[in-house]
Structure 1
């Protein structure tokens, strides 16, 4: 039987998606999530509720595309509000610098150089702040785990899909300014 809900079976003990995620977040990330929650609660939800009410007042809901679309969108927004409210309660905000700012810890901006001489600038953040365009990686990734506790000029070996790769830490800083 084929269907959209059919997936291949994965052993839960070995599935990386089942691994517990850390509940750390930077102060900026927490503020961004609170801003999204505030916008959804104060602006988007009331506007959609109004649209659903107006569409429902037109009569037959079974053939009313405006009602159906806005109702689905309202339910999606309510689910997102519920998720963000619960998630913000679970998160631990890290808003201070570590005692030793020369070592890599949560929130660090790290400049790396690989064996080929190419540089890579990353930031170690929480799971809710991942941004591939900015090269912000989760603290739960193998790269971040290998970097934690290391300092400038240390060499770090990281397991990648194409094999083990070695990086040298060029710089560790805790502010975005270079």
Structure 2
């Protein structure tokens, strides 16, 4: 049997997934079942777009439930590391693009909770891979889709 993928996440990220799972199982499933019942009453199912849409949504909800259950079953909680001068998962890193770029801050999290719009990047991203293990005030090169950039780590929390 193949080893299942581990999903790294913070305790906050795990709780967020547990809440989403609870919502999908207790509320969303019931809503979709109700939509299917109503759509059946519209007549011939072979030409019923409401029924097809409701069944598609049901498949999406069930797939998302299975995905979340798998992620939670294989969750690895990112432990808090008190070493404040080394970049690790769970830390927020502020860096400055060299020579005179803007400051940017990102929290490095597992792919399950990555959301660049919230300042959370996946540990699998090129930026995070380049930062992990580096130290405060270290200058590094990062390969990005737009080309290589140089950055200096100016804060780690």
What is the TM-score normalised by the length of structure 1?
A: 0.77
Q: Which string of whole-angstrom CA distances, capped at 9 and with x for unpartnered residues, describes residues 143-164 of structure 1? A: 2122112221111221234443
Shift of residue 22 of structure 1? 5.7
Counterpart residue number, 2:20? 36
Q: Which residue of 2 aligns with 1:122?
A: 106
Which structure has greater helix proportion? 2
With the length of structure 2 as denominator, give the TM-score of the two structures: 0.86
Runs of 4+ displaced beyond 3 Å: none
- 2:133 is aligned with 1:149: yes
Report the aligned-residue RMSD.
2.0
Q: 1:133 aligns with which of 71, 93, 117?
A: 117
Deviations 1:1-22 (A, max 9, x none): xxxxxxxxxxxxxxxxxxx976
Separation in 2, partners of 1:21, 1:124: 18
Instruction: Point out where structure 2 has 5 or more consecutive residues left out of the alignment.
Output: none
> Can you list the C-alpha shifts for 1:119-171, whole angstroms capped at 9, x where unaligned?
11111111111212123211112221221122211112212344432111111
What is the count of residue pairs matched by the alignment?
Answer: 153
Structure 1: give runs of 5+ residues left out of the alignment. 1-19, 174-178
